Structure 1
Amino acid sequence: MRQSIEEIVTKLVLPFTEREGFELVDVEYVLEAGHRYLRIYIDKEGGISLKDCQTISNAITEKLDDIDPIKENYFLEVSSPGLDRPLKKDSDFERYKGKDVEVKLYKPLNGQKQFEGNLIGLFDGDIIKISVDDNVLEFNKKEVALVRLSVKI
């Protein structure tokens, strides 16, 4: 089975992020407005600085050039996942239990595709539960397009 670019880059980047004490949040390779972007999201306790992003960018650029997993031209971006970070890994759902989240579905449920509530957790690796106005809502992870932390201003 052919590995995706994201999988190859994740394996490449992980030793560098771990060595520097960062969490590798996500790797994505996307086409936007005719340009390809390789985005690497990192985090650490207390947040990420521009210097942190530069450290990881410098550390992996040569390795990326050596293994050359991407044949097309692309832009490399290393950044923080932001305050409204997406929750993707099982550990994200554990870490952010009790926090407010937004859940976006691929298809409407009772005429609604977006929900906001307090994260109860991820159960059996498949079921996301949130509390909305004293009601517990359950979503099958396969039907969820995005779960991210909700930012209140």
Structure 2
Amino acid sequence: MTTESTTVPALNEPRLIAESGQEAQIAALLEPEITSLGFRLVRIRLTQINGMTLQIMAERPDGSMSVTDCEAISRGISPILDIEDPIHSEYHLEISSPGIDRPLVRISDFENWAGHVAKLETHQLVDGRKRYKGTILGVEGDKITFRRESIAEGENENFILSASDIAEAKLILSDDLIREALQRDKALRKANGVEDGTTDTDETDTDS
């Protein structure tokens, strides 16, 4: 698959797929600051990895994310976390790019990664199921068209989901996806003057 140019989305494009519960509260605290720094929040997760870990995925609107960017976000949000204290225990802060098999949380994510396979879960049953897998074919308004990877008897090859139906979506690793993601990353690093090999994760231990 050849690499195609993508449209750089708006910084303030809303997420269609967001957190719930405590993760949603933390996102509400941090997303304004992350946006003010020039980044887009992708996802927040609280996990039990290394004790308690607050994982924050973010990126620039063009999809780039360097270790310097991760450090900038860490510096920007740490005072907010210290003051608001949303996690009442010691935790590990991890800031990273979305990665190659990234979550798809905005309409522009589906547009920019058309041609690649995604797995999805809907909020409610849609045509008798909640889990789907298919190649992203395109977006029209809030409707996203996919091509099924396997077709059961009586099913159409393509299916359409409304963005509001999707509870979770992420790309599935493939050789084509890895190749295109690396090509895009190399082009963005060159355009932004970032050296190849620079990592895109920042980790901090935080006492609360």
Q: If the length of structure 2 is used for normalisation, what is the TM-score?
A: 0.55
Moved over 4 A (4+): 104-107, 122-125, 138-146
In 2, are the aligned partners of 1:130 and 1:138 still within 8 Å (CA)? Answer: yes
Structure having the larger proportion of residues in strand: 1
Q: 1:37 is matched by which residue type in structure 2?
A: T
The alignment of Structure 1 onto Structure 2 pairs a total of residues equal to 145
1:117 corresponds to 2:117? no
Give, in angstroms, the shift of residue 8 of structure 1.
2.3
Q: Distance in 1 between matches of 2:32 and 2:168?
A: 27
In 2, are the aligned partners of 1:6 and 1:29 still within 8 Å (CA)? Answer: yes
Give, in angstroms, the shift of residue 91 of structure 1.
4.7
Q: 2:170 is matched by which residue type in structure 1?
A: R
Please name the residue that 1:81 is paired with: 98
In 1, are the aligned partners of 2:52 and 2:90 still within 8 Å (CA)? Answer: yes
Gap change, CA 1:97 and 1:56, over 3 Å in 2: closer
Q: Choose the corresponding residue for 2:65, options 48, 52, 55.
A: 48
Paired residue secondary structure (2:147)? strand
Q: 2:135 is matched by which residue type in structure 1?
A: G
In 1, are the aligned partners of 2:119 and 2:171 still within 8 Å (CA)? Answer: no
RMSD (CA atoms): 3.4
1:11 corresponds to 2:28? yes
Please name the residue that 2:170 is paired with: 148
In 2, are the aligned partners of 1:118 and 1:132 still within 8 Å (CA)? Answer: no
Higher RCO (C-alpha 8 Å, min separation 6): 2
Q: 1:51 is matched by which residue type in structure 2?
A: T
Q: Deviations over 1:10-29 (max 9, x none)?
A: 12222222222111111111
In 2, are the aligned partners of 1:36 and 1:75 still within 8 Å (CA)? Answer: yes
Identity across aligned pairs (percent)? 28
Q: Distance in 2 between matches of 1:81 and 1:31?
A: 19
Paired residue secondary structure (1:82)? coil
Q: Choose the corresponding residue for 2:45, options 5, 13, 28.
A: 28
Unpaired runs of 5+ residues, structure 1, are none
